[in-house]
Structure 1
Amino acid sequence: MSAIVLDPGLPEGHRRLMATRPELLPPAPERPAWGGRTLGDVLAVLPQSALWGFLPLVVGLAHRGRIVLLTGLLLQGATLGVWIRYGFTTFFLAGSAVQALAFLALLALAGESPVAGYGRRHRGRYVTAAMLEPLDAALLERTVAATATVLRSRLDRDGLLDGIANRVILPRQEWDIAETLTELTRLRREQAGARSGRVTERISAMLESQEEALDVATRALARRISSLEEYARRTEEAEEVYAEWRTLRDLADDGDAYRELLSRTVRDDLAAGEVGELAERAERLEASLRESVEQARLAGLTLIPREG
């Protein structure tokens, strides 16, 4: 799946759908003729509508969905009832009417996907790796991976990274980086176009100066992305400690059950020692957890823009 970064200001429903199908982006800027419907759509809809008109149960069995299956079963029973009660001619006319309605309904559902429509509507407010030059696309993928690591972590969900509004700050950082990468790609392609023509000595000197500026900007952005990756790495490390601490804490909470089990076979003081060791391990790990989380928080705080 191609990496995609979306403007945090987009409607949440649009963002969610566009993020799931980035391969459908970007569409043509103009609305396609006939809503994107083609002769192929018509040819595909014709047999399906015929089945809905005369053999709807086949459609229901093919889709395997409960609602579609139930609809097909009821419709099949109705069409057979019409045939038995009113004869074949009425059955054929009724089936043809259902086929016509099904054809219109299926054709209405064909054409441009909602994702493509959103992409056309929100053009300029999303960036995919496919839209960028290879170097910039690689930087975008690193950014997306690091951001996802933090936002999907149990630490963030459980609020351990307090003081850092990850759900607000990271998408903004991600989008800012994506916009910068888009501009870098535009300038790289502009340079490539200039070099493909007649290059005089003065043009060459100008292009070299511009290329150096691009390199400086790329290195600066790469350092920013490295800071984001460091935050993600620290978060992963702290999350491993957090998972271990939660397991030990649960085991320590079950101390009474273990104490009772051990006391059946060994002395009570040994049983108490075994259980006490679990609690001590949990306490030591908790201290390590606090340190790991603090390191992650410090790495995250460096991403927060300074005011003034």
Structure 2
Amino acid sequence: MTGEPRSRADGTPDVLVLDPDLPEAHRRAMAAHPALLPPPPRPAWGGRTGGDVLAALTVSALAGFLPLVLALARRGRRPVLVCAAALLQAATAGVWIGYGFAAFFLSCLAVQAIAAVTLLALAGESPVAAYGRRHTGRYVHARMLEPVDAALLERTAQATGVVLGSPLDADGLLDSVANRVTLPRQAWEIAGTLTELTRLRREQDAARSGRVTERISAVLASQQEALTVATRALARRIAALEEYARRTEEAQAVYAEWRTLQDLAEDGDAYRELLSRTVRDPLAADEVGLLSERAIHLREALRDSVEQARQAGSGLLSEEG
């Protein structure tokens, strides 16, 4: 799963749902760069272009002969990089002084060659694209789907993200273990169904683009009805996820207020002492005590709100149980 869904320039939501069983490092990289998926066919030379070669030769020449100048010219230059470049510059200058210009020139050429090879190795397409080709069929991006299915995928990602990103889940007030295991699998199952719906919709569009006889029209109408029923059923499942997310957001708001009151109540002794010094009135303690009472009432409201959220998710989570 990606984080908060974003929209691309063409209006397609930048939503990506991943197979939970993908290697964790691959999942993190792919989730961080959903716009790179699905990748184009494997390019020649690993996606490296003539521009990459020219840039590598130019930068490596500066790295070989004037490393300090290159380090100082970089935006956001780091002290460590500048220090390393200064040491390299001093080393090449030492070679010139100690062994002459010919040795200096050859050593700089060696550094340039190493730098050029390194830069070319780092150039080309992103590793995420390679992951995308390697794991074809184990992720679904919104732009792989028809608009109606992409919208359902976006709703799924939003609802799942709300629950998994909630402080309630992080603090263990919800069924965190079940959420972490079940919700990504639920999202992945929904994404798989949406992929199949899109495939069938496109098959129908292709059939309608040809010669449509009365019999073909009747079959297509029957298939369209099946697609409509399946889409509605899936939409109800997604609505259940959204209800869980809505209940979680409501409980989260109460939780945030309760934690604030808890923090204020911890300072009760200081306020009580302050009021006793200035007012000298028994009511002072009662005024401060209101914080604790409010915290108690809010804690009860929080308990009810969290319970409602847990009940909203219990049906979803029990499916994997």
TM-score range, shorter chain: over 0.9
Q: Residue 17 of structure 1 corresponds to which residue in structure 2?
A: 29
Contact 2:179/2:317, CA 8 A, preserved across alignment:
no
Give the AA of the match of 1:46.
L
Q: Residue 222 of structure 2 corresponds to which residue in structure 1?
A: 209
Return the alpha-carbon distance in structure 2 between the equivalents of residues 102 and 85 of structure 1: 24
Return the alpha-carbon distance in structure 2 between the equivalents of residues 39 and 192 of structure 1: 41
Residue in structure 1 matching 2:105, options 78, 92, 96: 92
Residue in structure 2 matching 1:54, options 39, 55, 65: 65
Once the two structures are superposed, residues 38-66 of structure 1 have per-residue CA deviations (whole angstroms, 9 ceiling, x without a partner) of 22221221111111111111332215134
Q: Residue 44 of structure 2 corresponds to which residue in structure 1?
A: 33
Identity percentage over the alignment? 72
Q: In 2 relative to 1, CA 290–257 (structure 1 residues): closer, same or farther, beyond 3 Å?
A: same
SS across alignment from 1:304: helix
Give the AA of the match of 2:86.
L
Once the two structures are superposed, residues 94-141 of structure 1 have per-residue CA deviations (whole angstroms, 9 ceiling, x without a partner) of 211211111111111112321111111111101111111111111111
Residue in structure 1 matching 2:265, options 252, 264, 278: 252
Contact 1:164/1:300, CA 8 A, preserved across alignment:
no
Residue in structure 1 matching 2:141, options 120, 128, 131: 128
Q: Does 1:6 align with 2:18?
A: yes
Shift in Å at residue 87 of structure 1? 3.3
Q: Residue 77 of structure 1 corresponds to which residue in structure 2?
A: 90
Return the alpha-carbon distance in structure 1 between the equivalents of residues 257 and 133 of structure 2: 47
Shift in Å at residue 35 of structure 1? 2.3
Return the alpha-carbon distance in structure 2 between the equivalents of residues 298 and 151 of structure 1: 16
Residue in structure 2 matching 1:269, options 250, 273, 282: 282
For normalisation by structure 1, the TM-score amounts to: 0.94
Q: Unaligned stretches of 5+ in structure 1?
A: none
CA root-mean-square deviation: 1.7
Residue in structure 1 matching 2:167, options 140, 148, 154: 154
Return the alpha-carbon distance in structure 1 between the equivalents of residues 149 and 66 of structure 2: 53
Give runs of aligned pairs for residues 223-234 of structure 1, distance below 5 A: 223-234=236-247
Q: Unaligned stretches of 5+ in structure 2?
A: 1-5, 7-13
Return the alpha-carbon distance in structure 1 between the equivalents of residues 160 and 183 of structure 2: 6
SS across alignment from 2:278: coil
Q: How many pairs does the alignment contain? A: 307
Q: In 2 relative to 1, CA 13–306 (structure 1 residues): closer, same or farther, beyond 3 Å?
A: closer
Give runs of aligned pairs for residues 109-188 of structure 1, distance below 5 A: 109-162=122-175, 165-188=178-201
SS across alignment from 1:127: strand
Shift in Å at residue 183 of structure 1? 0.7
Choose 239-248 or 186-195, whichever is displaced more: 186-195
Choose 159-168 or 280-289, whichever is displaced more: 159-168
Contact 1:164/1:301, CA 8 A, preserved across alignment:
no
SS across alignment from 1:160: coil
Q: Does 1:241 align with 2:254?
A: yes
Return the alpha-carbon distance in structure 1 between the equivalents of residues 162 and 16 of structure 2: 15
Q: Residue 212 of structure 2 corresponds to which residue in structure 1?
A: 199
Contact 2:164/2:179, CA 8 A, preserved across alignment:
yes
Return the alpha-carbon distance in structure 2 between the equivalents of residues 126 and 262 of structure 1: 62
Return the alpha-carbon distance in structure 1 between the equivalents of residues 315 and 164 of structure 2: 17
Contact 2:169/2:176, CA 8 A, preserved across alignment:
no
Contact 1:37/1:110, CA 8 A, preserved across alignment:
yes
Shift in Å at residue 281 of structure 1? 0.5
Give the AA of the match of 1:281.
R
